[in-house]
Structure 1
């Protein structure tokens, strides 16, 4: 028993059991058996609806053991997964032995053979044979060679097989070239080189006359009569092998009769009249040269030589009556030249073209006049509209159009009905595939008909990697279920990825502890602390004030500041667009100061708040300018005790004395750092810090000189009398506007009393050190004393004056015991250099002493920069005096005092450069 027979037996038994169960369930029968019986015959039927399989020992399982078995192909029942099941093993009957249809479409039937027709798939899923094309239809053989259809098969198109194929004029199935069809399958014709029996006498394949076969395929001669030219003197011509040959001439002088019937004798192969040849021209003669030479001007029959007489006249004719002669044409074929007017034609006439792949007629074209060149190949259009090739036969007829080899282009070139067959795939086709990351992708057949790489599908949100780029859910905002860091502004938090691969909101964490005023954090006495408003709340819209606008929706935190002594407090907040508020006693207390942007014009949007605070408790509110202004910040606190002389009440006293020149002087180095902006001078200061000094003069008539030149800070100085808050009696902001940013004030003949000198900053940014020099002397004329010195104007090269009538107050370290003058000289800010003062000129008429001080009233060596007295006469060529003075040295920016003194008095000129 075969395996299929065994399967069918098991299947039938299975169906019987299944049918019994179905009948019992569907027909209301008892489970005990069909018809209500309960005998042993019903042992194979179980409960209603249950199908049992016999457990016979001869029922095999798929795993080789006995017992229950699943339905299989070949049991005649179409089970799940089967297209059909006809219960037999017959292939091609509509249902194959694997339980699939023998065919569904024509592609399963077509064998690719052109000559047996195109097979089709019938409605019964059986392949039906196609209708074969007519014999002689062009086809392509198994090796790609061109052929023709014959009896349903593709065979080579052979001449001589007795079948007329494409490209053949005839095919009589033999090699006899004397019948109507030549062995090359061309029709017989005159000139083909083969004598057609019953039609042609001969055929030598050329047109040369007299060669035995004429160009009409008849013999040149068959009997001697065909050759006789009627001339007895040149012998009797004969016909040999159909070619005329000359006869043997009779002896010279033999009797003959001329063409005109006159008796004559044979001379030189022709019949001449009697007496011809005696050298005398007699009656009936045209000439008589006494010889028988037929190549001169007089023939042997005493006729004048002429073209057409059959003899070639030496030096005059090339030929005479001769048949065409063979020659080589310009294309190297064998042609012919005709004798025309007794000369050979100058051109060699080509022969008639024949089918041999050559150019016989010298027109530059092979086998012209035929359909094609023998052995040539040419393009042609196949039955499937592709460009094929065909071969020109030995008869110069095109053979069948052979399809080209299949190429990869998505088309059917070889006319077998299948595009790109022989390649791995059809160009441009697509199919499913498994990607490198185990997803289902698509691959495309490329330009070379090779399957391309498996292109992954588009990524979807599922936590997997479909597109094989190395990560799941790429192209989405996040991987489903993932968590990650996030930022809101400059704040960092965490977030989770949703089921749609979108990030959830950013969780920034809990609010800071000092988010409310009651939990305000203490501010360190000095230093920096960091914090964040990322999770702070907006509790209040704070009041706008000078330096800031009201914040709108900003988040804020609170700090507490305890001040134990009057101090300048600087608060700087950086990190985002902050606003700082400073309030007294409570978060909602009196607003002391506020600041929005430290330098908005230059993009510094952090806050800088500076205030001078009395002892007490203060609250600092660090707010955002609006709802979008929040993040990490740094709050820097600087607390600087204010100077003792920050206000009028603590004004620093300048001790007054009446020493040299009835006065005194002092140089004070101070600082604006920590000072508050308490006073305004009205001569250029705008919000600068200020300190106060008091000078009380006990003697009337004082000249007063005040300067801050040489200060690091840009200062403004104003002078008040009687009270610190009184009106200014003088105010200055810069020396000559552009020479130096600091001040020179000179007051003449002041009455005794209290004078307040207030040193202010030009603006709030001035926090540096300053140099305050105050000189006072008993009232005198200008230039005589330090209380009212002369000015040496900037860029002045020479000043001249006279010390007659002046007093003597000062001396230098190198001399000076008579009347003297004093000048203040300013080296411009940023212009240090070498300076030279001298009295080497004709304008000086006495023994001068020059000395230079850094402080006018200070005669100590520390203040004196240089001193000069009595230089030798050779030093100065401008005068014969030996008592001249000269000072030189490098001076830094600042104020200096030049004293013109001497051991005498008189006129002088001081020059500088």
Structure 2
């Protein structure tokens, strides 16, 4: 990395931090705004704009819109809670968990509006996986937990108990806020699913969602959705407003299948010749073709694909602003982009906590928690590919996550899966975090994958069980899957394998656990073995840790996994004004020179606090991490 790229200037980011705080204050304010229809002295005005009969949205002088139920009061503002009280609509600033703090998405300061024990100023609970005080770090990583006798959340093997006020499954969401509890008797059940067959909830608590429930068998929506899309007849067979190859149901099926790189599009043969997923007149290459001159601007209420793009009426982006296509809340399982944001059902962030999407676990919006060693099953049929690993994964995936509070050995495999599967793991952010492993066929059993991590440090990890490809003849690699997980916390140190088995950063003979053991006797010129940490150990000409490598040839003296530019010798070798940056291995700040700290949560190397750089250093220290203003180091 060049000096120009790094822009190292020991200026700090205090000014930028102030700017961030100022920007965070823009938009909706906190919960000092209450009922916008309440009137009376001292009433606050709402930042929401409500228009409608009766002067809704103002204070005093007659209240709000008359109503007979809550559906009459939906103002389509995601940042208000809309109720019908005493026959009048009332709109209050959103605060789902009732802790007095609005969510970040609405300009508030609550970093988790599904847990009433989480808000700025809350006391950090060191064993609940939640960032209670909203300082960006939770449990063991929060300085407030230094010295705590217990640290880190242990998920209950029975999952979330929906009535006890505790986050039993360690997903930071409590009781009825947790999608695991949606539709349970504790959180309310309906007598029947009928009349509610497209909302993504198991309303009658019988274990069947919407059209999968027998109560919905006569619902027109379900009768139509039960039909299979014919991918070459120019008709919307399954009533999702998508025709043929524009329908995800047709991916990989003739005539929508194509073997890359394909050939130039032929505009009249009903085949996707160029492998772009668009056939004939739906392909931009065919706009001027004589075969497509019958196409015309979309008419938004006639049930016909007028402009030949495979999308009918309100599913066509050309109709988003048509009067009959006004956006409504996303329903999450009807195959339609209800809110006109181009994202359908479980691909829409609005559906992240919808029970149907949680059950699907098809993307990073709704990953499933791995609570510990065991076997996890599901089905990827119909999942749309949103991610892939370096070793493959072009079909739909299932996404999991697990959080380690202790160094652990982790083994994953997909033995028992019904299709050619891949496994890959990311840390940091789910979609964009660093990929730390990817495998296709190493499990030795019918296309199954296997990954072995001898040691993973505390943190959150995302696991993707993906279908290897979409075959033009056989279709997508999808179907029932099996994920086998073995997590072994605090494995013992093996003293001759070159691996930090027990997670204390010390390897083999450098680990006190190996003192006096065979390979660690009399190997450092007669001196007791010791870590090759710091300038003194990296410049003394000795193999201090008995690994056969001396000083700068030792990985501990060029410690960064991603940013190896110097040796830990006290010299500014790359000329950026900072000697040894991120190349002296460390376990604590005591291992680092004055002015530097040990990045214990990512690189385990010494560097100046991350706020002291002009520019974002963390992508280079540990891809997928961010600079924490609380700890001064990069965090996942």
Which interval holds the TM-score relative to the shorter structure? under 0.3
- Structure showing the higher strand proportion among its residues: 1
Normalised TM-score (structure 2) = 0.24
Larger Rg: 1
Structure-1-length-normalised TM-score: 0.17
